[in-house]
Amino acid sequence: MLYRQLLKDDFDRLPPALRQFHSAPGGGRAVGSVAVRHASGLLARLLGFPRAGDNLPMRLEVVASETQEIWIRRFGDVVRRSKQRLERDLLLETFGPVRLLFRVLADDRGMRFESQRASLWVLRDGARRRPLMGVRSEHRARGIVFRGNGPAAMTTALHVLLLLGVLGALDTLYYHEWRLRLPETPSARRELRLHASRDFSYAIVFGSLAWTTWNGAWVWPLAVILLFEIAVTLTDFIEEDRTRRLPPGERVMHALMGIVYGVFLALLYPHAVQWWALGSGFGPADYGVVSWILTFFAAGVFASGVRDLAASRKLAR
């Protein structure tokens, strides 16, 4: 078993619940609570654990072999999956492209994981030798407590996405529809097609992130859609400057939307890293009222795309 090989004689110092859990053939499951404390380093933000708090519910499933363990942590609808194995006398844990090396210390209260080195592909975070997480036992299988570091939950990224949707709606309704009347302007035909293609991309992003996660290889189509939006937006900037003079307020609105989109991508990235480590497919997600608002936004932006595409075709006649 992995942890017996790692801890050697110190394994027998662990509380009975932890010894039993890490000795079970094939792995096991545990239900417990989570205390999360944020760290300021890049590594902690990449891990993608929930927002800071105490006594947060967590379900842990471990699939174990003689040389490796797969840890699947479920914080509500948020799933974090990693692989663990020995590397010399250290524990190597991988979250997709993120590689973490820990020195694991054991006593009669539980285990402490001290971060030794971290790397993201070829980027490395030097040895800090500070405790990153700890596990202790309440002397029963369901009493395991996990402590980790990470950024705010996925809902923070979705809140930023909602802000982007609000700004986009204001830009469309006030500038495109009411003030400039782009659907009635012949010179705006190509711009309207660009708006339509971007709207359809946003409809996919809003609608899918509301209820699903893009796991495994499906992360890459999501990345393509997000990059496509950037390419369309840059092309749209060029087209706007070529065909019309933008009001100062509209230009400011576009700058704000670009900033918010960048913040959204930065917040989404740690979660995408975690999804990439899972089996390919779409996982379920439910963020309550946020999911329903995103669904409403998806329907609205899809309708806007249909209108812009129809107006562009009408102006081409």
Range 56-60 average pLDDT: 81
The pLDDT confidence band at residue 64, using thresholds 50, 70 and 90, is confident
Tell me what the pLDDT averaged over the chain comes to: 80
Range 237-262 average pLDDT: 91
Residue 287, classed as helix, strand or coil, is coil
Range 226-239 average pLDDT: 93
pLDDT at 135: 47
User: Do 22 and 1 form a contact (C-beta atoms < 8 A)?
Assistant: yes
pTM: 0.55
Range 72-76 average pLDDT: 79
E strands, the chain, in order = 27-36, 53-64, 68-75, 78-87, 90-95, 98-107, 110-120, 123-125, 130-136, 145-148, 212-215, 281-284
- The per-residue pLDDT for range 150-166, each reduced to its tens digit, is 334 578 899 999 999 99
Checking if the pLDDT of 38 tops 70, the result is no
Q: Residue 152's CB: how many other CB atoms inside 10 A? A: 17
Copy the structure tokens of residue 106.
């054991």
Query: Which residue in 72, 69, 119 sits closest to 279, CA to CA?
Result: 72
- Tracing tokens 């609105």 back to the chain, one arrives at 253
Q: Where are the alpha helices (DSSP H) in 212-247?
A: 219-243
Residue 271, classed as helix, strand or coil, is helix
